[in-house]
């Protein structure tokens, strides 16, 4: 009986997901792709995969930007199709995924208008998964309070923005504080939502979100050195849903330089390994590169 009820709400979407999984490129496909010498060769090889149609109507010569746009378009269409056919709690879960793109879009628009870029030029650069109706009104805001009252109050991001509201002008420093405050609230809310769902969702997503929270705490700390951001203000930006919470975050809040951050990471084997070999010299992998590689290798299996 339980299986029958599941199929009513989730059977079609489960079938879609299984189909998407089967369409993922295999190791043999990647071996062929690395031998492609031109973008036309790449298009020719992909024609024999589930990605065969997304470039079918594109004339030659192809460009990387066209391929990127078409891949994004394919992703958005498939995601929105799933969202339109979903019910709770899956619909809310999918909404949570879009919130990170909404945050990035808001910051992109604020930064662009701060540098006198026309809003019509900025909107096409926004990710379509993070689009919302009020985006084009962002240029009217001069302070975080105006941004909230005029633009964000009727969006899903409104609860995350409460801690950002102030009468300070929107300058480079405040924009970064807003970005990190929004991400802190977003990650904590998403983590709580997944935890309450329980089961496989909690086991998988809480691990992913905990890693993202810790990564942001470490990168925020390192990027704050040499800026006007004080230790107390820095600590307020740390998402408190990762493995570093609470002792690791308290230690990061006291750190004065890179070596002290590295010393904190040594208490966590997973993060300590990422600092080894990281550097900022030409040819070196940065710490953010190492985090990205770890994320891809650790969670692709999930």
Confidence category of residue 60, pLDDT binned at 50, 70, 90: confident
In a domain, 78, yes or no: no
148 shares its domain with 106: yes
- Phi/psi for 91 (5° steps) reads -60, -40
Domain finish residue from 180, 213, 236: 180
Confidence category of residue 10, pLDDT binned at 50, 70, 90: confident
141 shares its domain with 221: no
- Phi/psi for 246 (5° steps) reads -100, -25
Residue 99 pLDDT: 97
Q: Which two tokens stand for residue 37?
A: 């010498």
Domain finish residue from 145, 180, 215: 180
How many domains is the chain built from? 2
pLDDT digits (tens, 9 = 90+) for 194-210: 999 999 999 999 999 99
175 shares its domain with 235: no
173 shares its domain with 216: no
CB-CB contact of 166 with 181 (8 Å): no
In a domain, 153, yes or no: yes
User: Which of 15, 58, 13 shows the shortest CA–CA distance to 40?
Assistant: 58
94 shares its domain with 160: yes
User: Which of 180, 163, 164 shows the shortest CA–CA distance to 223?
Assistant: 180
CB-CB contact of 100 with 183 (8 Å): yes
251 shares its domain with 299: yes
User: Which of 218, 257, 230 shows the shortest CA–CA distance to 173?
Assistant: 230
CB-CB contact of 143 with 166 (8 Å): yes
- For tokens 């086991």, name the residue: 203
In a domain, 56, yes or no: no
User: Which of 170, 192, 294, 168 shows the shortest CA–CA distance to 240?
Assistant: 192
In angstroms and rounded to an integer, the radius of gyration of the C-alpha atoms of the chain is: 22
pLDDT digits (tens, 9 = 90+) for 220-251: 999 999 999 999 999 999 999 999 999 999 99
In a domain, 57, yes or no: no
CB-CB contact of 146 with 140 (8 Å): yes
Please state, in angstroms and rounded to a whole number, the distance separating the CA atoms of residues 93 and 100.
Answer: 12
- For tokens 């009513």, name the residue: 8
In a domain, 11, yes or no: no
152 shares its domain with 218: no
CB-CB contact of 251 with 231 (8 Å): no
State yes or no: pLDDT of 31 exceeds 70.
yes
In a domain, 80, yes or no: no
Report the predicted TM-score, pTM, of the whole model to 2 decimal places: 0.92
In a domain, 250, yes or no: yes
State yes or no: pLDDT of 89 exceeds 90.
yes
In a domain, 45, yes or no: no
217 shares its domain with 161: no
Domain finish residue from 125, 149, 180: 180
State yes or no: pLDDT of 271 exceeds 70.
yes
CB-CB contact of 242 with 217 (8 Å): yes
202 shares its domain with 174: no
163 shares its domain with 122: yes
108 shares its domain with 143: yes
102 shares its domain with 166: yes
Contacting residues for 113 by C-beta, under 8 A, at least 6 apart: 119, 122, 138, 139
Please state, in angstroms and rounded to a whole number, the distance separating the CA atoms of residues 51 and 45.
Answer: 10
User: Which of 53, 47, 99 shows the shortest CA–CA distance to 73?
Assistant: 53
Confidence category of residue 4, pLDDT binned at 50, 70, 90: low
Q: Which two tokens stand for residue 94?
A: 């999918």
Residue 3 pLDDT: 61
CA 172 distance to own-chain centroid? 21
Mean pLDDT of 72-98: 95
State yes or no: pLDDT of 301 exceeds 70.
no
Show the domain range for 142.
86-180
Residue 300 pLDDT: 60
């Amino acid at each position: 009986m339980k299986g029958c009820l599941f199929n009513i709400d989730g059977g079609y979407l489960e079938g879609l997901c299984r189909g998407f999984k089967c369409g993922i490129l295999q190791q043999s496909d990647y071996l062929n792709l690395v031998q492609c010498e031109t973008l036309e060769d790449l298009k020719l090889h992909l024609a024999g995969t589930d990605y065969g149609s997304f470039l079918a109507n594109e004339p030659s010569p192809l460009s990387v930007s066209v391929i990127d746009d078409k891949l994004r378009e394919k992703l958005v269409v498939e995601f929105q199709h799933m969202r339109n056919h979903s019910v709770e709690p899956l619909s809310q879960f999918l909404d949570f995924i879009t919130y990170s793109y909404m945050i990035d879009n808001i910051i992109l628009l604020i930064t662009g208008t701060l540098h006198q870029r026309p809003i019509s030029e900025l909107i096409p650069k926004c990710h379509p998964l993070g689009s919302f109706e009020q985006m084009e009104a962002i240029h009217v805001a001069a302070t975080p309070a105006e941004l909230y009252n005029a633009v964000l109050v009727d969006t899903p991001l409104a609860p995350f923005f409460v801690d950002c509201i102030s009468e300070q002008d929107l300058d480079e420093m405040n924009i970064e504080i807003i970005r990190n405050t929004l991400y802190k609230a977003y990650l904590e809310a998403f983590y709580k939502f997944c935890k309450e769902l329980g089961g496989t969702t909690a086991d998988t997503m809480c691990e992913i979100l905990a890693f993202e929270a810790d990564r942001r705490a470490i990168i925020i700390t390192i990027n704050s050195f040499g800026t006007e951001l004080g230790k107390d203000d820095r600590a307020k930006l740390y998402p408190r849903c990762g493995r570093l919470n609470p002792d690791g975050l308290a230690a990061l809040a006291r750190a004065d330089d890179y070596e002290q951050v590295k010393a904190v990471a040594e208490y966590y084997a997973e993060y300590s390994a990422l600092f080894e070999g990281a550097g900022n010299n030409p040819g070196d992998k940065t710490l953010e590169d190492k985090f990205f590689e770890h994320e891809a290798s650790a969670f692709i299996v999930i």
